[in-house]
Each structure stands twice: as structure tokens, then as C-alpha cells.
Amino acid sequence: MISMRFSRWAFALSVGLLLIVSSFGLPASIFAEPVQEETKAGNTIYHDYGELTADLQAIEFAYPLLTKLESIGQTWEGREIWAMKISDNVDIEEPDEPELFFNGCHHAREWLTVEVCYWFIIYLVENYTSDPTATYLIENRQIWVVPMVNPDGREYDGGAQGDEPSSYQNWRKNRRNNGDGTFGVDLNRNYGYMWGVSGACSDTSSEVYGGPSEFSEPESQACRDFARNHSFVGSISFHSHSMLILWPWGWSFEEPPDNEVLSTLGVEMSNNITNLAGSSSWPYTPEQACGLYPTSGGDIDWLYGELGILAYVTELYPGGSDGGAAISAPYNRFHPREDKVIPVVLDNIPGMVCMSMIADNPNQIIDHIVLTPNPDSQLINQDTTGYYMITAHNDGKRTDTFDITSSGPSGMTINHPNAINLLKGGSMNFTLDVTVPAFYIGGDYTIWINATSQTNPSCHYGTQVTVTVPFYYDTAIVSHSPFVENGQYPQGSIDMTAEVMNLGQADLDPFNLTCTISQMGASLPNPVFTEDFETDLSQWTIHDHDQSQSSSEWKLDPAAHNGV
């Protein structure tokens, strides 16, 4: 048990109040009591920067085999941006274990986001070995948490009271000195994917000012470099408020390429989030981020657009229809009264668990199949049949039957099964036979193979193979030396050699070769020498190719080819 700063907030987090994870085949989690009654260093359950730093260091000290604390960068004012890893082999990067990234406090006044991240760490380490879900995640995932992306802004917002939610500046941005009497950049408008497009603002006094350039801020740079150095599968960036679950794109109303997975997982997370906070706006609304309002420079667009991470924003309590004393003066919607903190934490940890559980295969929540050809390209002669082995893997949510179809160039014969049945998680191989007719024109041809679910026709997957048909008559100069296209050649003798190869399927009758050398000029190339190697030596004379300014002598060694 960690000894944490805390007074009247000792509590037990119980099974019936928290996790709904039965759909993933694991029992609901039980929270051990994470804190003990003792004198608290601060005034409230909220963490200011100093308190968060001390508590993260205490966790690392208490759980050195499960946690690792490191700085991923520094702010304008020199504060460390802390990241904590939670895993059973915390000092080892394990490529077979999916990585996840949770962060809070991009916006300084959104204090609840720090607490959701912090207490998720507590849940994991306090319940390792005693709770199956926490144990499974620690032993099979690499989880990284950055509770406070914007320490400078958070410290400014808290002012002298630090962690008292009734005393705040309502500050959103970081603390960059803009040099014109204004301060701050909105960190969640400063990421580099489609920066400065939709909803961008260049007014330095605006709350949504996106900065002088993409990734101009040390905080967004730190998150960028941190994400690039890892292989995150999923990410949740916590914000408040409105009780929403948002996924890319924020900058565009177009659906993202992975919309089915993103939207389905968004709904799953919403279904798992409870309502201990007592909100009249529950449940959390899942939607594409642009549905709230178009934005550019957000972290989820960059994480997904550049790195392919399934990235979400969770907007916490309160919702739009909520009211009451907990979010009324002297408190507000960004600084709820502290008795709302633990209920909001309890409500949202199930969503984090939901994402973490499916990270080994995000497709497990949708209907999905993958086709992999071997080989994906081969040479097939005319009047011959070639064979491709196609591996089909059902990594979707259920057992299904898939129709197999194909399309290819006219005249080729293509054979394969009409349908295959695959168990959930199952794989099978089938053969794709391709017969090329006699005298078929040489070239590269593409054949598409498609699998479509009989249960859900919107589930389909296509792959392709290439058939290379050799030309019946085909010759090529396969090497030439020392010739370089558009090269410059000094005065004097130059020996040139070339190798000609028959690449076709038939013996060739005698054929002619012609060598043409051209001088590159200001206009079209000027042929200065042509030789067919067959007729005679008449071409091997002095050729005046630059209007009598000089002469070039071209010599041929008759012994090399007996003059023919």
C-alpha cells in the first residue's frame, strides 16, 4: 500500500461500481483501497505540479519493478513533463506487448484530467496480483501515462492556492511569452498534422491561438518525440468538459481510413463508462471530433495521421445539461468541487481498460478478415498455370463465412474456392490458380482477390497478386559500359561495351543492332555518330559535328568483329 497525501478521502473502489469488461472474457476488477488516512500536504484531492511530482516519485519508489518515471521534456519555465510507464518488465521494451498512451492537462484549467490519469496508475499498481484485470494489463501491456502535459499553465491557473478548485485563473494555454504583451499557445492546436487549417487562429490573445508554427512549443515537441520513440496502438487525451468521446478527424468531416474501428471502439468505451458522478448528460457521446467543431493542430489528428495510432479525446464531466453546486460559483465546469473527482475517476477508468484490453488486436471488435498472398508476384509462361497460396485470417469478432471473388485480365483463367468458413481467430490457406493462354501478350498483370462476409457484407478485404508474362520475342541491352545517360566524356579514346540478351521464350533469327551517339545541345540532341555494326566501316570517319570549331575522330577496331 502506498502512503499517499490524503485526509478525508480514504475510500474503497468496488467491483459493482466500476468495470464492465465481460465482453473481453475477463472478470470485473476490484479496486483495493489505494490510500490511507493521513495528513495531506495540500488542501484538496486535486494535484498541483509539485504534489503530482512528489506522488509520482513515491509510486516509483514503492513499485520499482512495475513503474518507471522519466521526463520527456521541459516547459518554457523549466518544469519537467513527467511520463510514467507501468509494466511487469518496466525497464525493457517488449515488442510483443502493445503500448498505450494516456495523457491529461493539455489545457491548464482542466484539472480533472490530471486526476483520471493519476488514479489509473494507482488502480494498476495497487491491484497487481490481487485483481485479474489489473494483473493482465500489467503483464501483457506497456502503459504510459503523462498526467500533466502543461505544467506551466496548470501552475499559473492554480495560483497561490495551487490545488483549491474554488481559486483559479481559468487559464487554458501554456505560458509562452508571445512578445506582444500576450502569453500562451493552445497546445492542442499546435500539433503538426494539418496545422493551421480548420478553425485555426493567429490572434495571440485568443484562447485557441495555435502558435507561430507547428510544434513551436516544447510541450507539444515533447509529446511528438515521445510518441515517435514508441509504438503506441491506442491513445486517450483527456479534456474537460462535455462528456464526449472523440476520434479523428478534427480538421475534416471526411471519414478516416479506420473509421469502423475508431467509431466502434468509441462506442465500446462509452458503453463502459459509468455514471457515479450523477450526470444528467450521461452517457458520454461518441462522435467524430469535427462533429463538435472543426479544429486543426490537435494531438489526436497528428497521432493518427502521422503514426497510425487509434487516438481519442475523452471530454470529462460535466455535460452540457449538468448544473448544481458542484460546478457553480465559487467552482465552475473546469474546476468542479472536489467531491466529484473520485466519481469521475471511477466512471472513466473502465474506458481506459476497454481500450487497453483490445490493443493486441483492435479488429476484434468488428467483423474483419485479412488475406495474405505468397508469393505476391511471379512469372508465368504462356500456356502454363501458376499457383499462389492465399492465407485467410479471421481476426474479427465472430465466426463467419466469407465469399471469395476475383478479377483479372481478360483471357486468363482464375480458379479458387467460392467461399470459406473461418472460426473467430482462425486461419486457413487456399490456392489461387492462374492459367496464361498460349501466345498471351507479355507484360505485368494484376489480379484482385476479395473476401466478403456473408453475415455483414460491409466487411470485405481485398489483396492483389502480380502475374508477369514474358514476351515471346524479347531482347534487351542488359549492360553497357562506361556509358552514362547525359554524361560528359573527355577528349581521347573511349572503349564502349554492351551486352545483349534474349529475354524471350523463342530463339531469335539474326537481327540488327544500331548504336547512336548524340551530342546534347541547347535544342534537340544532335546525332553525331550512328553504327549498325553490320554493313561496313564507312561510318568510322572524322565527323564535323560542331560547325568546324573542332573535329572528332571516331575509330573502330576491325579485329573485334572482323569488320562486319
Active site residue ranges? 315
Burial (CB count <10 Å: 0-12, 13-18, 19+), residue 172: buried
Cα Rg of the chain, angstroms: 34
Residues sharing a CB contact under 8 Å with residue 524, sequence separation 6 or more, in sequence order = none
Q: Write out the three cell numbers for 449.
A: 482477390
Closest C-alpha to 113, from 157, 69, 80, 57: 157
Return d(Cα 219, Cα 215) in angstroms, integer.
9
Cα-based distances in Å from 242 to 283, 315, 322, 425: 11, 6, 9, 37
Return the sign of the alpha-carbon dihedral for residues 425, 426, 431, 432. negative
Cα-based distances in Å from 397 to 100, 235, 363, 368: 21, 22, 7, 7
Query: Which H helix or E strand runs over 436?
Result: strand 427-436
Residues sharing a CB contact under 8 Å with residue 25, sequence separation 6 or more, in sequence order = none
Return d(Cα 411, Cα 423) in angstroms, integer.
35
Q: Write out the three cell numbers for 152.
A: 506551466
Q: Which residues pair with 286 in a beta bridge?
A: 245
CA 144 to chain centre: 16
Return d(Cα 364, Cα 356) in angstroms, integer.
13
Return d(Cα 560, Cα 495) in angstroms, integer.
12
Q: Per the omega criterion (within 30 degrees of 0), is the bond before 330 cis?
A: yes
Closest C-alpha to 83, from 63, 65, 67, 61: 67
The torsion angle over the Cα atoms of residues 335, 341, 346 and 347, rounded to 10 degrees, is: -30
Closest C-alpha to 124, from 149, 88, 82: 88
- Residue 215, SS3 per DSSP: coil
Query: Which H helix or E strand runs over 268?
Result: helix 259-272
Return the sign of the alpha-carbon dihedral for residues 478, 482, 483, 485. positive
* Strand pairing category for 310-316 and 232-240: parallel
Q: Write out the three cell numbers for 297.
A: 493542430
Closest C-alpha to 268, from 28, 30, 20, 102: 20
Return d(Cα 371, Cα 373) in angstroms, integer.
7
Return d(Cα 378, Cα 467) in angstroms, integer.
6
Side chain identity at 349, as an amino acid letter?
I
φ/ψ of residue 347, rounded to 5: -65, -35
